[in-house]
Amino acid sequence: MAEEAEPEVPKETLELEIDDVTEDLGDTLSELDRRGNEWLDWRRQLRKRAVGLGGATLVLAIAGAVAFANWRRQEWNRPMAKARRFRDAVARMIEKPELVARPEPSIGTKALAAAAAGVAGTMAKFLARRLVARLEAAGP
């Protein structure tokens, strides 16, 4: 079998196709260049994606705060940290013992507490008698 020869394409047609392909390639490269410049323009990106960046920043800040709180809690509960706090507390007790115990209440505070207790007792008796009287009046 003999190979059939392909029909010849005129030179002008090939040149037109090459020009079309070259123009398409030039358009594609221009578009890629424009998109690359837009992507690298950080001011434009910031304006375009301000809400997303703000949300991401907020999420990162909250996640960082939670992580820090967890770390501090773990540090707080470590035995060496507890021993250090106990040592500091004992040092404060030795330095200022008057701040360790609560001071004795004044005579005015004691009198006010006694009066409040008396009023509360009297009110309780009055309310209890009133409740019993209502129950007796209602009958069995």
- What's the pLDDT score for residue 14? 83
> Which tens digits make up the pLDDT trace of 13-41?
888 889 889 999 999 999 999 988 888 88
> Which tens digits make up the pLDDT trace of 112-131?
999 999 999 999 999 999 99
Q: Kindly tell me if the per-residue pLDDT of 67 is higher than 90.
A: yes
> Which tens digits make up the pLDDT trace of 81-122?
999 999 999 999 999 888 887 778 889 999 999 999 999 999
Three-state secondary structure string covering the chain: CCCCCCCCCCHHHHHHHHHHHHHHHHHHHHHHHHHHHHHHCHHHHHHHCHHHHHHHHHHHHHHHHHHHHHHHHHHHCCHHHHHHHHHHHHHHHHHCHHHCCCCCCCHHHHHHHHHHHHHHHHHHHHHHHHHHHHHHHHCC
Q: What is the C-alpha to C-alpha distance for residues 86 and 94, in angstroms, rounded to an integer?
A: 12
Q: Kindly tell me if the per-residue pLDDT of 6 is higher than 80.
A: no
Nearest CA to 46 out of 61, 33, 57 is that of 57
Distance, CA of 123 to chain centre? 50
- Cα angle, residue 50 at apex, residues 46 and 54 outer, rounded to 5°: 125
Task: Band the pLDDT of 42: cuts 50, 70, 90.
Answer: confident
Q: Kindly tell me if the per-residue pLDDT of 52 is higher than 90.
A: no
Q: Kindly tell me if the per-residue pLDDT of 5 is higher than 70.
A: no
Q: Kindly tell me if the per-residue pLDDT of 73 is higher than 90.
A: yes
- What's the pLDDT score for residue 39? 84
Q: What is the C-alpha to C-alpha distance for residues 72 and 15, in angstroms, rounded to an integer?
A: 74
- What's the pLDDT score for residue 89? 92
**If you average pLDDT over residues 57-67, what whole number do you get?**
96
**If you average pLDDT over residues 57-72, what whole number do you get?**
96
